[in-house]
């Protein structure tokens, strides 16, 4: 949905302005379609570089990601303690910052064996992408920790930073092909239909809870 020099973004990026669903899903084996699937599909990607593009993030303290900037209110109240809210800048493929985005997430209620992001859990995520001069999107996806879980587990087990080069697709539906959905838009993107994927490439996760890497929001517009 995640982060910065004084904060950092969540690997689990994925949410937007609006109502975040509280229904959660069991992840099934899915072949995720990452490339163009029809001639009418237009692909455009927006990127979040971490920690450079992080603006603010807060949550209820259940996940191992640092909230920030320092002093930001956290989600301590019982009804919002499983939530996460994130605000970042967005750049295009040429490296130019062209917009900003918000992500809202609500994680499942913890169980007795809950390990947070160290296990593979699945939840609903909403994104809002704002591209001044063009308009913006509302996006919805089911998201899961997936192959990123060992990164968090390494820090929990060893008390040392994880360092490597990991690329993972955190989108896990709700479509049968594993993609998330464009649910609305305005401006250039008014009446937009299509799908999207959240793809992260990460190179470090620190014991302090900082995640370093790039998140790509890959938009597949129909028509």
- Average pLDDT (28-54) is 75
| Domain locations along the chain | 41-222
Task: Break the chain down into helix, strand, coil percent, rounded to 5.
Answer: 5, 45, 50
Q: What CA–CA distance (Å, rounded) separates 55 from 69?
A: 8
With cut-offs at 50, 70 and 90, classify the pLDDT of residue 121.
confident
List the one residue out of 88, 81, 68, 72 whose CA is nearest residue 14: 88
With cut-offs at 50, 70 and 90, classify the pLDDT of residue 78.
very high
Q: Where are the alpha helices (DSSP H) in the chain?
A: 149-158
The average confidence (pLDDT) of the chain is 80
pLDDT of residue 2: 35
Strand positions, DSSP E, the chain: 41-50, 54-59, 83-91, 97-106, 122-131, 135-144, 162-169, 180-187, 194-205, 211-222
Between the two ends of the chain, the Cα-to-Cα distance in Å is 27
pLDDT digits (tens, 9 = 90+) for 152-190: 888 889 999 999 999 988 899 899 999 999 999 999 999
pLDDT of residue 39: 75
With cut-offs at 50, 70 and 90, classify the pLDDT of residue 223.
low
pLDDT of residue 153: 84
pLDDT digits (tens, 9 = 90+) for 45-62: 999 999 999 999 999 987
With cut-offs at 50, 70 and 90, classify the pLDDT of residue 37.
low
Instruction: Decide: 131 and 98 in contact? Cβ < 8 Å.
Output: yes
Instruction: Decide: 179 and 172 in contact? Cβ < 8 Å.
Output: no
CATH of domain 41-222: 2.40.480
pLDDT of residue 6: 27
**Residue 34 pLDDT greater than 70, yes or no:** no
Cβ partners under 8 Å of residue 33, min gap 6: 177, 178, 179
Instruction: Decide: 215 and 3 in contact? Cβ < 8 Å.
Output: no
| pTM attached to this predicted model | 0.79
């Amino acid at each position: 949905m995640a982060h910065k020099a004084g904060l950092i973004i969540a690997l689990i990026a994925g949410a937007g302005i609006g109502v975040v669903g509280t229904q959660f899903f069991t992840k099934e084996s899915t072949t995720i379609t990452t490339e163009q699937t029809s001639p009418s599909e237009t692909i455009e990607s927006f990127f979040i570089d971490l920690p450079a593009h992080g603006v603010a993030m807060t949550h209820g303290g259940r996940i191992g990601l640092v909230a920030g900037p320092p002093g930001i209110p956290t989600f301590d109240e019982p009804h919002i303690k499983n939530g996460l809210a994130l605000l970042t800048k967005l750049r295009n493929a040429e490296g130019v910052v062209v917009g900003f985005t918000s992500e809202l997430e609500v994680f499942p209620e913890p169980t007795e064996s809950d390990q947070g992001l160290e296990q593979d859990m699945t939840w609903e995520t909403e994104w809002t992408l704002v591209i001044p001069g063009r308009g913006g999107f509302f996006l919805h996806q089911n998201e899961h920790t997936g192959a990123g879980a060992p990164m968090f587990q390494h820090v929990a087990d060893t008390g040392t930073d994880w360092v490597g080069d990991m690329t993972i697709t955190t989108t896990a539906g709700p479509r049968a092909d594993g993609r998330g959905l464009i649910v609305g838009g305005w401006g250039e993107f008014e009446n937009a239909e299509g799908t999207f994927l959240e793809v992260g490439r990460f190179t470090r996760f620190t014991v302090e809870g900082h995640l370093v890497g790039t998140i790509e929001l890959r938009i597949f517009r129909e028509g």
